[in-house]
Structure 1
Amino acid sequence: MHSLWNRLSDHVTSGTRAAVLGMICAVTTVAAGETQANTACRPDQVNLRGPWGQTQFTVEIADSVEERAQGLMHRQQLARSNGMLFVYETPQPASFWMKNTLIPLDILFIDSTGIVQHIHHRAIPGDLTPIPGGDNVFAVLEINGGLAALYGISTGTQLRHEVFSNTGAIWSC
């Protein structure tokens, strides 16, 4: 940018330089506004961040007993950038299994502030072995098996979604 500014300075008047600087500022402001708008909370999206960086998933919400019981069972595939966010009314002990689930999943157990407390990597399709997530689980995010390791998602990763808004979110909307 500095080099470009020097080249402009050699060839244009100060009035033109001021106009160019104004346009650069306007473009930068619009770009920053677009970035903020694109990262705003959406009901169908969960954002994750940690020392590894940031990512997001388009999610279906399972917040009723029936929806949580069904989960991702009987699905042949799950798009790479998709997942399911299971939400409980209050923090509680939670355990999952893979009955009738046809795809391997990473299962992230999250507390009420939006912090990942436990991850079960690559849950085995069809396995009936209980997968405990802890005693104070408020939400669970299921994503394609292997993605947590690929992205570097680990315990301590922060999630942002509107479901954490009333529970002391560490990364609020």
Structure 2
Amino acid sequence: MKRRIFLLGSLLAPLAARAQPGVNQPQPKLRIEDLTIVGRDGTRHLFHTEMALDPNEQTVGMMFRTSMAPDDAMLFDWGQPRESAMWMRNTLIPLDMIFITAEGRIHHIHERAVPQSLATISSRGPVRATLEVQGGTAERLNLRVGDRVIHRLFGTE
């Protein structure tokens, strides 16, 4: 009997070890929508944004991705304003996290989140969504609190 259990276990082990998004591999690319941030001087910055809409997509986020283009982003829609707390577990690249109000204004920016850190990154107040972009983007584009975000989610299209 012990031998049968061992054989069954050894046959099932490869199935259990298969790649699973968020556990040991990135999730497939999500649906892409354009999002624009308008700076105080009127400069427009276009991002090709993956939409993380459901809890599974949001849990995996950018985990295990090894690169991100300068105009790529991922938008986490919380559905309604709430405190947002993010971390960088299994995230291999530095990210800027941009926290956006329901009215489509940047509420807070956390720059250059440290890859694989378990430290909590807070929105510092209720937000409708969190936008992740390549680390250093906020500084490079001179993004600031109060900048306007144009996207259907905020009714600002």
Measured against the shorter chain, the TM-score band is 0.7 to 0.9
Other structure's SS at 2:65 match: coil
Other structure's SS at 2:67 match: coil
Q: Which amino acid aligns with 1:46?
A: L
1:39-78: CA deviation from partner (whole Å, max 9, x where unpaired): xxxx611000022421110000001111111100000101
Shift, 1:134, TM fit: 2.3
Aligned residues: 125
Aligned position for 1:87: 77
After superposing on structure 2, the runs of 4+ consecutive aligned residues of structure 1 that deviate more than 2 Å are none
Structure (1 or 2) with the greater helix fraction: 1
Other structure's SS at 1:80 match: coil
Gaps of 5+ in 2: 1-31
Aligned position for 2:39: 50
Shift, 1:135, TM fit: 2.6
Aligned position for 1:106: 96
CA RMSD of aligned residues (A): 1.0
Q: Which amino acid aligns with 2:105?
A: I
CA distance in 2, matches of 1:93, 1:134: 7
Shift, 1:122, TM fit: 0.3
Q: Which amino acid aligns with 1:84?
A: M
Aligned position for 1:129: 119
CA distance in 2, matches of 1:135, 1:152: 22
Gaps of 5+ in 1: 1-42, 166-171
Q: Which has the larger radius of gyration?
A: 1
CA distance in 1, matches of 2:93, 2:139: 17
Query: TM-score when scaled to structure 2?
Result: 0.77
Other structure's SS at 2:153 match: helix
